[in-house]
Amino acid sequence: MKKILTTIAIAITFIMSGCTDKVVFEEKHNFPNSTWMRFNPENFEVDIKNINDCYDIYFTATVDTNVIRINNLPLVVNIEDSEGSRRVFMSDIIFQNKKGESMGKTLGSFVEYTAKAREYFYFNSKGIHKFSIKNSTQFYELKGIASIGMKIEKSNMDITIE
């Protein structure tokens, strides 16, 4: 009887944890030779189904710290919705704090950095939103960037937009 109750409790826990998942979109793109060409934007397509909620947008960069020699990665983000409306904003992925300490998570010889680009962001329309992310550094070939990623999750804001 204890085994049955334990099994049921574990199953309910897994089911309930799946219901509280806030992630709406998550994707990562790898760069050949760990090099991001300045004028080659990375494109992500996000299908937004609920425009009444606010969202938090995150960017990640996986970096070879033996190669890269910058302290942050400036980004220009263009968003185009299915109706043709466009928005642009700038964001930074910070690699080190003011003390020179790494702000990322070590993955072998690479470090993954995450930055919250927008908090409580809302979408104007349902459907596909195309995100075009450009590296806005001064380097034509930004060596040492293994990948760039994007994650969108439902915000903790208690109100909805109407």
pLDDT digits (tens, 9 = 90+) for 39-74: 999 999 999 999 999 999 999 999 998 898 888 999
Residue 43: domain span: 23-154
| Residue 16, in any domain of the structure | no
Res 140 pLDDT > 80: yes
| Residue 41, in any domain of the structure | yes
Q: Which residues contact 10 (CB under 8 A, 6 or more apart)?
A: none
| Residue 7, in any domain of the structure | no
* Cα-trace Rg, the chain: 19
Total number of domains in the chain = 1
Res 142 pLDDT > 70: yes
Q: Render 91-158 in DSSP notation, one character per residue.
A: EEEE-B-TTS-B-SEEETTEEEEEEEEEEEE--SSSEEEEEEEEE-SS-SEEETEEEEEEEEEE---S
| Residue 52, in any domain of the structure | yes
Alpha helices in 20-96 (DSSP H): none
| Residue 87, in any domain of the structure | yes
| Residue 6, in any domain of the structure | no
Q: How far apart are CA 44 and CA 111, in angstroms?
A: 22
Enter the DSSP assignment of 9.
H
Q: The CATH number of the domain where 64 resides is what?
A: 2.60.120
Q: What global pTM score does this model have?
A: 0.81
Query: According to the model, what pLDDT value does residue 100 have?
Result: 78
Which residue's entry shows tokens 């109100």? 159
Q: What is the percentage of the chain residues whose pLDDT exceeds 70?
A: 85
Query: According to the model, what pLDDT value does residue 102 have?
Result: 79
